Every structure is written in structure tokens, then in C-alpha cells.
């Protein structure tokens, strides 16, 4: 009787598992949009292949969630509107979760923590910024006042480059636009090009992106000054999807949670960033 009971239970569990598989959402082939110009998150190789942290991450998510996918290159400025209009199913481009963005799109759970900072030219007037790498959180009122006042003194009359429609652009316009010229660019590489050419005094971007650039140009640029997190800079990067798609969100979240738990996301982070920027469980 006990064996029969165990057999019956086992069959029941198999039937439930089989039913779950049958009822699993068939997403078809999902289209992920990215900039393909924001290393090490994403970048295009000479032969047109899109590589980076996010393409590797999506490949692993697809394996675990059981869907097919393609990644397409799009301009950043039109990426969120394109998602809303249904041109693609998701966006992977170091998109930081902010209340403003949550009004128009939904997000998966976060897959990186978020800190933004500055890069300057060595030997320039703003070669070394105050802060020495210290990270200041937006809810630290005293810390924000101290750090912003110090940066204002250093950036007075200077020009800071930033990619258009980014959280860093929002930060600069909120805190430093009264003392510095904020110059926006359509693509991240354009900001660094003008820094090297001396047309701007600094670039603001995510530290993960800045670290990759500094590593390649260590003789000419510095990652310097305070880092900032929270507030208009949000809390971390996540996959943006259309509103009201709970099945896709659940599939992405479950895969990401398992990748964080078993250390896969940490390994991808260390591969592409040289450090672990994956969130904790």
C-alpha cells in the first residue's frame, strides 16, 4: 500500500509538472533592443555581432526560461518610445529603474547595482575631482550638500558631456547646470571622443561604463571624484518591458533570480566589468 501510495503521488507530481509545461507561455521569438555602443554592457564587433554583458546575460536567461530571441541595435533616444509602441519586446541597455520610467514601462528585477561618476583628462584643470571615489547616496542630505558644493566649485565655467535622455543627464541638470555647461550627445562614445579632443572637461556616466573606458585609455583619462547613487539616478539596471505583461516579467525574474543565486550573474559581471556589480539575492 505504501509503495502504491508513493507511486500514485509520483504520477500525480509528473502530471502536474507535465501540465505546467503544457501551460507554459510560448513567447515565440522575443526581440531585445540595445544600443550596441555602450561597452561593456553591449557593443558591436567589426563583423556586426553584438557582444557584452547583456547579450551574454540574455542568452543565459533564454536557456533557463525556454524562449528564442534576437537582439537588434537601436538608438538610445528612441529606445523606450519604441518599446512602448511595440517595435520590440524588451530593452537591454543598462536601463536604470526610476519612478519616471516606471510610469511608461515595467521592469524585471535588477541585474546590476548602479553608481554614476566622472571621467576627466589627465593634466587638465579638472584632472582630479573631490571625493576620492566615495559613493554618496541621494537620501544622505548632508553628504549630497557637501559633495555637490565641492563639485560646483571645481566645475564652475566648465563643460560636462553626457548622453541625452539618461539619468546622468537628469542628475547634471538638477545639480550642476547652474555653474557648468551640460552638453548632451546621442551616443556614449561621442562624449568620450570630445573629452579626448578637449572639447569638454568631463564625462558623466555609469561607473561600469566609465571603468571600461578608463581601462583602455589609462594614460590619458581618470575616473575621479564622488560616485552617486539613488534619487534621479535610480537604484540599478533592469530589463525594460511593455506594461501589463506579467508572464514575461515572471519568466525574466525567475531566470535572473536563479542566475544570482547560483553565481552565474556574478561570473558574467566579473568577466565583463572586472568586478562584481550583480545585486544580492
Q: From CA 257, how far away is CA 280, in angstroms rounded?
A: 10
Q: From CA 168, how far away is CA 212, in angstroms rounded?
A: 17
Closest alpha carbon to 152 in 142, 144, 162:
144
> Distances from the Cα of 24 to the Cαs of 1, 21, 27, in angstroms?
34, 5, 9
Q: How are beta strands 90-91 and 221-229 bridged, if at all?
A: unpaired
For range 76-93, the mean pLDDT? 96
Cβ-proximal residues to 60 (8 Å cutoff; 6+ apart), any chain: 255, 259, 264, 268
Cβ atoms 279, 113 nearer than 8 A: yes
Q: What's residue 274's pLDDT?
A: 84
For range 154-182, the mean pLDDT? 97
Closest alpha carbon to 95 in 104, 86, 87:
104
Percent of the chain with pLDDT over 90: 81
Cα dihedral: 221, 167, 260, 28 (round 10):
-120
For range 175-186, the mean pLDDT? 98
Q: Per-residue confidence at 24, pLDDT binned at 50, 70, 90?
A: low
Residue where the block lists cell 571600461: 212
pLDDT at 3 over 70: no
Looking at the whole model, is its pTM more than 0.85?
A: no
For range 117-126, the mean pLDDT? 96
Amino acid at each position: 500500500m505504501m509503495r502504491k501510495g508513493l507511486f500514485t503521488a509520483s504520477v500525480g507530481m509528473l502530471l502536474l509538472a507535465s501540465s505546467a509545461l503544457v501551460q507554459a507561455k510560448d513567447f515565440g521569438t522575443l526581440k531585445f533592443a540595445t544600443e550596441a555602443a555602450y561597452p561593456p554592457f553591449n557593443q558591436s564587433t567589426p563583423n556586426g555581432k553584438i557582444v557584452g554583458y547583456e547579450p551574454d546575460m540574455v542568452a543565459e536567461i533564454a536557456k533557463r526560461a525556454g524562449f528564442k530571441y534576437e537582439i537588434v541595435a537601436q538608438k538610445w533616444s528612441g529606445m523606450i518610445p519604441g518599446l512602448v509602441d511595440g517595435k520590440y519586446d524588451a530593452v537591454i541597455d543598462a536601463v536604470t529603474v526610476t519612478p519616471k520610467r516606471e510610469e511608461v514601462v515595467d521592469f524585471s528585477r535588477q541585474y546590476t547595482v548602479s553608481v554614476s561618476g566622472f571621467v576627466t583628462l589627465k593634466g587638465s584643470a579638472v584632472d582630479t575631482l573631490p571625493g576620492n571615489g566615495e559613493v554618496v547616496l541621494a537620501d544622505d542630505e548632508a553628504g549630497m550638500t557637501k559633495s555637490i558644493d565641492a563639485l560646483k566649485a571645481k566645475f564652475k565655467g566648465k563643460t560636462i558631456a553626457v548622453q541625452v535622455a539618461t539619468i546622468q543627464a537628469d542628475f547634471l541638470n538638477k545639480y550642476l547646470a547652474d555653474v557648468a555647461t551640460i552638453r548632451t550627445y546621442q551616443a556614449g562614445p561621442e562624449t568620450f571622443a570630445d573629452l579626448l579632443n578637449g572639447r569638454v572637461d568631463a564625462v558623466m556616466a555609469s561607473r561600469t561604463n566609465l571603468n571600461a573606458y578608463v581601462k583602455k585609455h589609462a594614460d590619458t583619462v581618470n575616473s575621479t571624484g564622488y560616485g552617486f547613487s539613488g534619487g534621479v539616478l535610480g537604484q540599478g539596471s533592469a530589463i525594460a518591458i511593455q506594461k501589463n505583461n506579467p508572464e514575461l516579467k515572471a519568466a525574466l525574474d525567475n531566470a535572473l533570480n536563479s542566475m544570482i543565486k547560483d553565481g552565474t550573474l556574478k561570473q558574467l559581471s566579473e568577466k565583463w566589468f572586472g568586478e562584481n556589480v550583480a545585486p544580492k539575492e
